[in-house]
Every structure is written in structure tokens, then in C-alpha cells.
Amino acid sequence: MTFEEYFPVWKELTAAQQSRISAAVFYREVPRGTLLHNGSEDCTGVMLLRAGQLRAYILSEEGREITVYRLLERDVCLFSASCMMRSLRFDITIEAEKDSKLWVVPVDVYQQVMRESAPLANFTNELMASRLSDTMWLIEQILWKSQDKRLAAFLLEETALEGSDTLKITHEAIGNHLGTAREVITRMLRYFQSEGMVRLSRGTVEVTDRRALELLSR
Amino acid sequence: MTFEEYFPVWKELTAAQQSRISAAVFYREVPRGTLLHNGSEDCTGVMLLRAGQLRAYILSEEGREITVYRLLERDVCLFSASCMMRSLRFDITIEAEKDSKLWVVPVDVYQQVMRESAPLANFTNELMASRLSDTMWLIEQILWKSQDKRLAAFLLEETALEGSDTLKITHEAIGNHLGTAREVITRMLRYFQSEGMVRLSRGTVEVTDRRALELLSR
């Protein structure tokens, strides 16, 4: 599959616009753990994920984290190009959670084409709307959903992403996803273990009762 | 001032697009307290505020609220037209916080023009980016800023919006803005009063030491 086949509104661009983008786009393969975008200092470009998994998170001054969303195959990331829009004024960090392959369209080229192309601007709008919906959902979760429900939902989501019931993940990393202190995660996981829902060992959490986690997460 | 003078990218639309919008736009005057948009059932249209003040908030299943943003004169509200984009999938409620005057562009017309007009689509993009930034900011506030700092900042913001140091507002209403239980607000306000920062009486909060609130809110 080529970039042209992956990029959602490719066929709605003019030939001139297509060749401008084709001439500028570049391909990257990055190992797990690579920091792809670091707050507002960076403005790498619009990323289109071919394979792998990226994580976008925000960071407090004290170094606490919360995951805002994940990017999977075929997802497009705008925030790595946040300088493109003057109204995007927040610092987000994007990191490869798995070995990843991606295309990057440089900011200036994407922006030039978007300024003149209603299809590309409307596509970007839908993307933005989708991220905004994720963010609103996250606010509801943080405010109104109890921590144990969020943890149960997170464990189920992770096992689905990993394709395995055994997660190699530390309590601190889980806390960083959920915006919760490590101690709170440890306490809840121990409770889950006492209820037979998970089995804990050093550096891993094994889901042993999906059904109970599903019930809890609702 | 007419709609055409208020609407941000008016001059970048074609004559045909302008007349399509002009023929469809309508004007409304609503008293304080009017519910302008109620969750996902409604899809009123894109609203442009001429005067007054609107409040957009989300609501939990248990009826708890949190203010996501305010709309002031010249602000454009997209969420009252959320059916326009398939990726906008959250329920927001919009209410007139003051007597308000506004124009409404019906959804189908706005959407038709946006599909073909890169300037309107790019303007909508900037709007969306701006709301997304507000939402990210709110997440940081909820997660990482202590309640007393948020309350202090809220009181200062309110006095600025009202042009008065005496706010006619209940503790419950403050709680609904901040996504916090009324009891917590009452406790903090009593603490603020004991520190000489505010004076409380039935249904009002008077700011008596702005400087102290400013210091606290940082």
C-alpha cells in the first residue's frame, strides 16, 4: 500500500495538489518508545500511520500524564502539526507505543493545500471534530466515572490492542494513561486481584475474568 | 451592525454563497435562561452571537454539570450544529446566561457552503481547533489544578464578565460551572471568607480582595 492509497481524501485533490504533496511526503520507521512530537516546540507535520501504535498525552508541570488518545493504522494525527492552526494552543506529546511506520506530510505543504482545497479542509474538520469528541468523552470520564470503572475499561482496551490477556505494563504506566497516581492504581489492582479479575506479578497484569471487568466497566 | 458585517469570512465567500446564506439566516432574541441547544437531539444551526452571553456545558447522567466554554459577542457556536459533522458525537447543552441576540445559519445551508468553500471550511477548522484547545485546558484544570485555585480563577472571571465585584450566584451554580459538588464550593467559599477574600450573603458572593484571589489562582 502506498501513501496515495492510504490518504483519505486523495482522490478529491487536484492533480497539482497531489503532486505537491507527493513531492514533500516522507516515510519514517521508528522503534517503540520514540518521541515523535514534544509539546508546542515541535511542528513535525501531519502524520499518517501505516502500522504500529502512537499515544498522544498531556503532561502536567509536575510530570504527571494522561493519555488523550491512541492512533492506530490509517489514523491521521494533526497535533504533530499544531503550528498549522493558530487556535491550537496546547502542548501534546506523541510517542510510539509500538514499533511504527508512518508518513509525514510537512506542515507548510499540508497547510498550503488545505487553504485552497475544500475537500482537504473538510476532512481536517472531521478529524478535529473526532478528536474533540474524544476529549469531551475524556472529561466525562474524569469527572463522573469512578476510578475502578475506568481502570477496568482500560485493561479491557489494552488486552484488545495487544491481542493478549497478559499485559506487560507497570502500575505507573497505567497511572500515566489514566491521569491517576500510581498508589491508587496499585490499590485498585490489588482489589481486582482479590476479586479474581486479574493476576498480578512483577511488571505484568493478567486479565483472568473478562466478564467481571466488563460488568464493572459499564 | 448586520450579520454580513459580523460574520468572519463573509468577504471570502462567492456572491452565490453569500446570497444562499443571507436568504436562510434568521435572527433571534432570547431572554436569559433560554435553552438554545439540548444535547444531541437538537441541531439548530450555527449560531453567531450579536450580544449577550451563552454557556455551553455537559451534563452527567446524575444531573451534574460542568461549563465547557462561554460564548460572548461575535463568537460563533458550532455545537448547536453538531449534526453537521458525523464525528461530533457528544451531547452539549447551550443556554443563554444573559438576555441574548443572535443569528442562526441553518445547518443544511452552512454545510452546503462549507463543502465547497475552502475559506469557510478553514474558518470552521480554526473554530474547532479553538474549542479543542479550551477542552484540553479544561482537562488540565480538572486533573492538575487544585479546587481552590479553580474557584479563585472562576470568581475573577465572573466579576470581569459581569463588570461588578458582587456576583449574584448560588453555590450550586458555581459547582455546576466547575463540575464540583455544592458542599465543596460552600466549604471553600467559607474558607475564602475567613481569609477576607470574599463576603458571602444569601445568593451573592462579593469579591473583597482581588489581589489575594489573583495570587491564589496562579
- Please give the grid coordinates belonging to residue A34: 520514540
Q: Which of A99, A103, A133, A111 minimizes the C-alpha distance to A8?
A: A103
CB-facing half-sphere around the CA of B27: CA atoms within 13 A: 9
**A166: pLDDT strictly greater than 80:** yes
Residue B44: predicted pLDDT: 84
pLDDT in tens, B148-200: 999 999 999 999 999 999 999 999 999 999 988 888 899 899 989 988 999 99
Chain A contact residues (CB < 8 Å to B): 58, 60-62, 64, 66, 68, 85-90, 92, 114-118, 121-122, 124-133, 135-140, 142-144, 179
pLDDT > 90: what percent of chain B?
A: 71
B78 contacts B127 by C-beta, under 8 angstroms: yes
Residue B7 and residue B182: Cα distance in Å, rounded?
39
Considering CB atoms only, which of B85, B115, B118 is closest to A129? B85
pLDDT in tens, A137-155: 899 888 888 889 999 999 9
- Give the SS3 label for residue A69: strand
Are residues B66 and A139, on separate chains, in Cβ contact within 8 Å? yes
Q: What is the pLDDT along chain B (218 residues), one digit of tens a residue?
A: 899 999 999 999 999 999 999 999 999 999 999 999 987 677 889 999 999 999 999 988 778 889 998 999 999 999 888 888 888 877 889 999 999 999 999 999 999 999 999 999 999 999 999 999 889 889 988 888 888 999 999 999 999 999 999 999 999 999 999 988 888 899 899 989 988 999 999 899 999 999 999 999 98
ipTM over the 0.95 cut-off: no
Tell me what the pLDDT averaged over chain B comes to: 92
**pTM of structure:** 0.84
Considering CB atoms only, which of A58, A92, A136 is closest to B58? A136
Considering CB atoms only, which of A66, A114, A143 is closest to B66? A143
Residue A26: predicted pLDDT: 96
pLDDT average, residue stretch A123-130: 93
Considering CB atoms only, which of B66, B124, B136 is closest to A135? B136
Residue A137: predicted pLDDT: 87
What is the C-alpha end-to-end distance of chain B, expressed in Å? Answer: 38
Residue B143: predicted pLDDT: 86
CA–CA min distance A62, chain B (Å): 9
Residues of B with CB below 8 A from A85's CB?
Answer: 125-126, 129
Give the residue from B135, B142, B177 with the most A CB atoms within 10 Å of its CB, the best one to mutate. B135
